[in-house]
Every structure is written in C-alpha cells, then in structure tokens.
Amino acid sequence: MKFYSAIEYLCVDIANHYGLDKKLFEERIQWVKDNYTKLETLVSSADVKPLYFKAVQALRAAVAGLPVGHPVALDAVCSGLQIMSALTGCYKGALITGLVDPNVRADAYKSITDAMNTKPGISIQIPRSKAKDAVMKSLYGSSAQPKIIFGEGTPELEAFYTTMGTECEGAWTLLHELLSSWNPGALEHSWTLPDGFDVRVKVMEKVSKRIEVDELNHSTFTYEFEVNQGKEKGKSNAANVVHSVDGYILRTMQRLCNYNKPLFEKILGVVKDELAVRLEGSAKVSGTTTILQTMYDKYKIVDTSFLNLMEPNHVRTLTTEVLIKLETTLYNSLQHEPFELITVHDAFASLANNSNWVRFHYKEILADIADSEILTVILSKLYGTTGTYKKLSKNLSSYIRQSNYALG
C-alpha cells in the first residue's frame, strides 16, 4: 500500500469534495497543486461546496504551520459488493471494487454498465446514480429497482442480470443463497460474528385493525402496527447478513485504530516471549482452551475484542498459528498512536496524519475476511446444517493486502 503525507491527504479531501473522487490519489493531489493559488475561487464549481471550502481552509492552515482539526473521510468502493466479494473469495468482484489492482481507482457501477454494453444489441447510457441503484438494491434482493431502470422483460434487463452473474459472480451467488435461507414460520433469524456479537433479527409482520371510537360519533379508522410473527417468505436475510458484516468491520476498525495501548503492549510482550520459547522447542500448547482460540478455530480470524479477557499465562493455550497472527495484528496497531475514528456507514474519517492507517487497517480487515470462515458459520446457522463454504478463490487476501483503493 502506498503512503501519503498529511498535506497530501488534505489535497485528496479537497479534490474529493470538488468532484474528483474517481481519480487516482496522485491525480487528485496534482489537481490541487495546479490550482493552489485559486482554490477559493473554485468553490462555486465544487460538488459539495461547504466541505470543499472547509477543506481548503484546513490546507491553508496546515501549510502555515497551524494546528488543524479537519477530519479527512475515505469511503469504501461499493461496500456491499466489496464485502460480498471478500466473503466469497471472488476475484472479479474484488477487482471492480478496488480490492485487487493497486493502480486503478475502481468504479463498480461503471464497470458493470460497461460490461453490459459489450453484449450484442445493448447500448446503455444511464447516469451513474441509476446504475448504483440497480446494482446496490439488486444485491439486497430487489427485483423492482432493476425493472424500473431497465424496463420489464427487456434485453437490457436480461443483460443486467447476466452481467451481475459474470462480473460479480461471488456476490450474485451469495445473494441467492441468502434469499433461500429464509426459514418460514421462524420468529427470528440469528447468527454470531467473530467478535462474539450476536445478531438477532425478529421477523415482523404488518397487521391492521379496524377501530371504532364511540366518543367521536362512532368514527372508524384503521390502525397499522407490526407484530413478531413468522411469515412464509422474506428477503431481508440478504441485506441483514451483509450489513452485520459491515458492522463487524466498523467495530474492528475502531478496535485497531483507537486501541488500548497498554493492553496491546502487554499482550504483545507475552506473545513474543511465548513464540521465542516455542522456537527453542521447549514449550507447546497447554492448558484449557480460551475464548480467543475457540473463536479462531470457528471463524479463522484473530479478533482483538477478547484481549481484555486474557491473562499472561493464556498465551500457552494458543496455537502457534494464532500467536503469529495475533503478534502481527498487535504490532500493526502499535506502529501508530491510538486515534479517534469517525464512522458513517462505509465512510471512515480521521485527522489527515492518520489517514494512512485508516486505509491500512481497512484493507487488512478485508483480507482477513477473505481468509475467514464467516460465511460457513453464518450459513450453517441459517440453514441448520454443517459444512464448509466453498470460495471461488483461496488466495484473494494476498491481492487485497497490496491494494491502494479499497477506500477511495
């Protein structure tokens, strides 16, 4: 991953608010340099005028050597598709969401419409916002939105569905697996994430009752409300599962960016000591299995949410594989001081001097998800079966760790 200076991130923020967020970082930085003396005069042309002007003021203050409290926000590239591609090991879906090619600022919505236009007889020219609506909502189970945009029963609609199945195969397959996971009659659908977060989504059905009010001359009205009761069909598992993983990513980002420094230093010290002893061959795994090891065995992710439950002697209960992964995670966070992170859905904001680490931790989390068994655990719970989810690729994480534009 390429690192940039705090000043350069302020330039990126200015360019983003001007409307150049689909450009490479270097191109955005260069645009600000080229227009440095007249940035204030360009406010009227900016996409987001107040934030553009605020970012320009922050840059001026920083260049003057003044303290700046301006947060720089970086958004995930088509986060729903991005997460589903990582979960399923889908290289093509990862490619069009910025997780693979470090030299390309991906735009999934444009890539999908471009791919549609390669189909015989198809020539689609629609605003990016329309393409976004079709892709995003279809991945959550909507069939209505694509029909609104491309027409019902049209060659364009058929091309859209065909393209979704080829350009983001993993996400498209997962969508239908999640849609089929609905349990008729169930009062809730539930699953657990790698940090122990229990997801419980009640099945709510809208009902109505006719009410007559004697005091209002026997006037009647219909009262609508929701009750927790099962229903035969539902689509919400598709969106809820992806949103729950999105929430897991946000929590993990907070834990790694604004981490507990004394705790991380303490645990890293005992982990290093234990690894040194094992390297000498004088120690092996011993003792009662801890929650950290149990969760790793299940999800194949080392999650720092359990560190506050660890005692120094617990490292002896961890496998060498877990110790190595834990050492790497702790070391990466300790390369920077803890810092506050602002999250709004799939946008992550911090002071500009921390933006490198925001990008770094995000792509590392996505890489860990690509290596994980999160889908195996969730689908096994929803379907009431056992087995292992077969991913499209087993080495997607190696590409993700090299990416520059997971957050664009």
The average pLDDT across 357-365 equals: 98
Residue 246 lies in a domain: yes
Residue 195 lies in a domain: no
From the number of C-beta atoms within 10 Å of its C-beta (0-12, 13-18, 19+), residue 120 rates as exposed
- Nearest-angstrom CA–CA distance, 79 and 136: 9
Residue 209 lies in a domain: no
pLDDT of 305 reads 96
Tell me the CB-side half-sphere exposure of residue 257, using CA atoms within 13 A: 27
**What amino acid occupies position 209?**
K
pLDDT over threshold 80, residue 190: yes
Of 50, 69, 88, which closes a domain?
69
- Nearest-angstrom CA–CA distance, 389 and 282: 37
- Nearest-angstrom CA–CA distance, 160 and 135: 9
Higher-scoring residue by pLDDT: 282, 120: 120
* Model pTM score: 0.94
Distances (CA, A) of 310 to 196, 316, 352: 15, 11, 33
pLDDT of 405 reads 97
Among candidate residues 193, 334, 363, 353, the one with its CA nearest the CA of residue 260:
334
The average pLDDT across 140-148 equals: 94
Q: Which two tokens stand for residue 387?
A: 């087995």
Residue 1 lies in a domain: no
Total number of domains constituting the chain: 2
Of 51, 69, 87, which closes a domain?
69
Among candidate residues 138, 60, 9, 132, the one with its CA nearest the CA of residue 408:
9
Q: Tens of pLDDT along 52-64?
A: 999 999 999 999 9
- Nearest-angstrom CA–CA distance, 80 and 178: 14
pLDDT of 312 reads 86
Specify which residues 407 forms β-bridges with: 76
Give the containing element (helix H, strand E) for 227. Answer: strand 219-228
Residue 333 lies in a domain: yes
Query: How much of the chain exceeds pLDDT 90, in percent?
Result: 92
Q: What is the CATH number of the domain that holds 52?
A: 1.10.287
Specify which residues 350 forms β-bridges with: 72
Residue 110 lies in a domain: no
Give the containing element (helix H, strand E) for 355. Answer: helix 355-371
* Band (287; pLDDT cuts 50, 70, 90): confident
Of 69, 86, 119, which closes a domain?
69
pLDDT of 216 reads 86
3-state secondary structure of 159: helix
The average pLDDT across 34-51 equals: 98
Residue 266's domain comprises 237-342+353-400
pLDDT over threshold 90, residue 214: no
Residue 126 lies in a domain: no
Specify which residues 66 forms β-bridges with: none
Residue 165 lies in a domain: no
* Band (248; pLDDT cuts 50, 70, 90): very high
> Do 218 and 319 meet the contact criterion of CB atoms below 8 Å apart?
no
pLDDT of 217 reads 87
User: Where are the alpha helices (H) located in 139-224, listed in sequence order?
Assistant: 144-150, 155-167, 169-179
Query: How much of the chain exceeds pLDDT 70, in percent?
Result: 100
The average pLDDT across 193-207 equals: 96
- Nearest-angstrom CA–CA distance, 193 and 215: 52
Distances (CA, A) of 85 to 60, 366, 367, 396: 40, 10, 11, 9
Q: What does the DSSP assignment read for 16-33?
A: IIIIITTS-HHHHHHHHH
The owner of tokens 């969730």 is 378
Number of H helices, E strands in the chain: 17, 7
